[in-house]
A and B are shown apart, each in its own frame.
Chain A
């Protein structure tokens, strides 16, 4: 870990001022940042501790517009929040299935949404080639050990996966995110926060320098009670997804009126599958409909040496999630 400046701020304006310094990083739970700093993958010049802003940016509220989540609320408290579990089970389940109880006590919602890939070639600096870490150096993961990496949204420059669970669920539900910078505030769909790698995999988000995530808004939809998060992994807990599906179904008399589908563990960013949703809406729900949607979801999958199984696993995961969601008593 390189040494860094340390600034403990107590208000949003102070944070924004400190955050615009080149090399400064916001720091709340620290579970992603410290990890990557210890590995020498990230070398921030300054840490701006925004933990004390939790009082201002940590609220969880449900109203007629939907669910409002302060960016600095901690994963554990949101996971255990009764309103979240009741109205948006997919969110509670995604949070509960992520990381460990200790990490969920530490990590903020914004931090987990911004977590970075677990691609080993990104995390290990003894590999020279990583376009995400060192732009233009190449991609050692292509041709290497890449079983955990992405098959959706990848490019010839990067096949890293987005490893998170919560953002996968959030993005499926059409969440918007509030941002605050020195120039003011703005909102955008969460789907537009993360970028695909293309030929600039080192640019992971559309955040502007010094911009702070302040809140997430999940739209109101009573039918989102019929939702769930299914995570398929090599061990039962405390493991990243090989494939996951966040699904919500508006099912009326056996027909799909609305659907929300997010896919995790298989994509370069938090992935909402509009194609799969479109394949379901208006259709009578049955296993064939679920399979047709799953086929759409992975139509453009690109596989590498060890990821050949992932489209099939991803399809099966989605089908199982949809069948389970349709069977829920809500």
Chain B
């Protein structure tokens, strides 16, 4: 079927198998491989993207059903050579990753965690970042990064 997706401010028209997930369109059709496939079953959060500002899972979103929404992926946060988003910078500053595979999903989820108002305390950050698994287990550093970035993002 023919679909139109709005990703990082750009419109993409493409023909897809109706079964195709948003994640597979990003990765296999549009070359936006920052969003990762870690389970394809809604269990890890590595494919987290923003749809109209809300964090959702690319693996559980049919591409056809993502039409009409403004989709933001990790590639949409900072262009080549451009300054990093405060959340990206905070992950760098705190070594809030090791292998880096879950990191794009963590960062997209963390941005939403802050904008939702769910980053008021460290306990709240822990709970509301629990949809993103990190097998390297950088969790304490992720919490520190979110706590740093929320201030830079203008949240208390």
| Cross-chain contact B18 with A106 (CB below 8 angstroms) | no
Complex: A100 Cα to B18 Cα, angstroms: 26
**Contact check: which of B65, B116, B118, B127 meets A51 at CB < 8 Å?**
B65
| Cross-chain contact B42 with A31 (CB below 8 angstroms) | yes
Residues of B within 8 A of A127 (CB): none
Task: Give the tally of cross-chain contacts (CB within 8 A).
Answer: 80
| Cross-chain contact B130 with A100 (CB below 8 angstroms) | yes
Residues of B within 8 A of A1 (CB): 19
Interface-facing stretch out of B25-33, B53-61, B70-78, B145-153: B53-61
Q: A38-B40, A106-B56 are in contact. Are A6 and B109 (CB under 8 A)?
A: no
In the complex, chain A residues 1-40 whose Cβ is within 8 Å of any chain B Cβ: 1, 3-6, 8, 27, 29-31, 34-35, 38-39
Q: Which 5 A-B pairs have the closest CB atoms?
A: A100-B131, A237-B130, A238-B130, A105-B54, A6-B18
Give the residue name and chain of the A residue nearest to B62 (CB): A30
| Cross-chain contact B60 with A106 (CB below 8 angstroms) | yes
Does A49 sit at the interface, judged by CB under 8 A? yes
**Contact check: which of A6, A8, A51, A106 meets B57 at CB < 8 Å?**
A106
A residues at B contact (CB < 8 Å) = 1, 3-6, 8, 27, 29-31, 34-35, 38-39, 47, 49, 51, 76, 80, 99-103, 105-106, 236-238
| Cross-chain contact A102 with B62 (CB below 8 angstroms) | no
Residues of B within 8 A of A237 (CB): 126-127, 130
User: Least Cβ distance of B14 to chain A in Å?
Assistant: 15
User: Least Cβ distance of A311 to chain B in Å?
Assistant: 29
Of B1, B21, B64, B131, most A-chain CB atoms within 10 Å: B131
12 A/B residue pairs, CB under 8 Å, sorted by A: A3-B19, A4-B19, A6-B62, A27-B62, A38-B41, A49-B65, A101-B116, A101-B118, A101-B130, A102-B42, A103-B57, A237-B127
Residues of A within 8 A of B56 (CB): 102, 105-106
Does B128 sit at the interface, judged by CB under 8 A? yes
| Cross-chain contact A100 with B45 (CB below 8 angstroms) | yes
| Cross-chain contact A31 with B60 (CB below 8 angstroms) | yes
Complex: A53 Cα to B102 Cα, angstroms: 34
Give the residue name and chain of the B residue nearest to A52 (CB): B68
Complex: A34 Cα to B41 Cα, angstroms: 8
Complex: A245 Cα to B54 Cα, angstroms: 30
| Cross-chain contact B19 with A30 (CB below 8 angstroms) | no
Complex: A34 Cα to B40 Cα, angstroms: 10
Residues of B within 8 A of A6 (CB): 1, 18, 62, 64
| Cross-chain contact A106 with B61 (CB below 8 angstroms) | yes
Does B17 sit at the interface, judged by CB under 8 A? yes
| Cross-chain contact A101 with B113 (CB below 8 angstroms) | yes
Does B112 sit at the interface, judged by CB under 8 A? yes
**Contact check: which of A27, A38, A39, A102 meets B131 at CB < 8 Å?**
A102
Give the residue name and chain of the A residue nearest to B40 (CB): A38
Complex: A99 Cα to B127 Cα, angstroms: 11
User: Least Cβ distance of A31 to chain B in Å?
Assistant: 5
Does B35 sit at the interface, judged by CB under 8 A? no
Give the residue name and chain of the B residue nearest to A239 (CB): B130
| Cross-chain contact A27 with B55 (CB below 8 angstroms) | no
Residues of A within 8 A of B112 (CB): 101
| Cross-chain contact B130 with A236 (CB below 8 angstroms) | yes
| Cross-chain contact A35 with B60 (CB below 8 angstroms) | yes
In the complex, chain B residues 122-138 whose Cβ is within 8 Å of any chain A Cβ: 126-128, 130-132
Give the residue name and chain of the A residue nearest to B65 (CB): A49
**Contact check: which of A5, A34, A80, A103 meets B62 at CB < 8 Å?**
A34
Residues of A within 8 A of B17 (CB): 3
Complex: A180 Cα to B140 Cα, angstroms: 48
Give the residue name and chain of the B residue nearest to A99 (CB): B131
Residues of B within 8 A of A100 (CB): 45, 130-132
User: Least Cβ distance of B51 to chain A in Å?
Assistant: 8
